[in-house]
Amino acid sequence: MKKRNFSHTGAEVSRMGIGAMSFSNFYGEVSRDEVFAILDAACDLGVTHIDTANVYGKGDSETHIGSYLAENPESRSFFHIATKGGITDRSDPNRLFNNETGYLEGQLDASLERMGVEQIDLYYIHRRDPHVPIEELTQTLAGFVASGKIVGFGYSEISPSSLRAAHAVHPVAAVQSEYSLSTRTPELGVIQTCADLGTTFVAFSPVGRSLLTDKPHGLQVAQAMPFLAKNPRFTEPNLSLNIAATAPFRALAAELGLTAAGLAIAWCLAKGDHILPIPGTRSVEHFKGLVAGSHYGLSAEELNAVEATLPMGWVNGDRYSAAQWAGPERYA
């Protein structure tokens, strides 16, 4: 497995990670055995980066990871663990996010306890709280580094200008945003700013929440998932249009000897040496296809063929509904 570097922390990780939202019930019920099977496969295949969050399954994802580490203590030094905080329990509908120092420290301590670790390698602010200036928030995170609770920190779904403001206070190890052939907004500044600042760009949902796989979710499956049931790309008529539009992409992947999801990962990696995709899955077979894609280096001709198959703007529907847009910073 080739590597990616977090230049501001010195960490070297696999060039593809695991998006551990799939270790909760977000996309369907998941068992402890399924989680352990993916982590076993990751150890076998050299995938070292795990990216989770305290809100995934209300702590279930972190708890599964902690259980695995407890039963396989040697894996703690193998895995580079990232998690997130800053989203509230929604008990106050007027305060969806809280980036105050005391609140974040409590969330961080709870994550450490659930995973049974003394230090987290990468800690993200999951969503910005408009009540807390990013410079002040960055000072809080720098304090967590100084205390030894985290090695480095990052931000999820922030704008290029916010990244520069934070980085002026303390180096930002990573920025995480949705990025795939179906969501290319980060190309309008975030990916470039990350490259300029030496910040790793972590791409979540790199297979388009199934649209860029061999078996995209149909309407019945999507409607059974609360998030997708309200997502514009997975409601009709957009869903049928999107499945039809991605058929040539699946055919191209087969021609190249890859799964569609594997080709989506290969494309993502070809877009920059500082980009780290973190697909999620509950299937070991699917995971192996993703890893195969991470090993495949697209030629310039193949990259052009992929982007001709799914040119920028091909997708039908916004990536979020109005309610789902709460939190991410829009900048273009």
Tell me the catalytic residues.
56
Q: For the sheet containing 18-19, what is the strand order?
A: 18-19, 49-51, 80-85, 120-125, 150-156, 174-178, 200-204, 275-278
Q: Are 24 and 60 in contact (CB under 8 A)?
A: yes
Radius of gyration, CA atoms only, the chain: 19
DSSP conformational letter for 91: S
Element at 60 (helix H, strand E): helix 60-71
- Please, what's the b/e burial string for 166-178 (b: 16 or more CB within 10 A of its CB; e: otherwise)? bbeebbbbbbbbb
**Are the C-beta atoms of residues 10 and 178 closer than 8 Å to each other?**
no
Q: How many CB atoms lie within 10 A of CB 76?
A: 16
Torsion-angle region of residue 280: left (phi > 0), alpha (psi -120 to 50) or beta?
beta
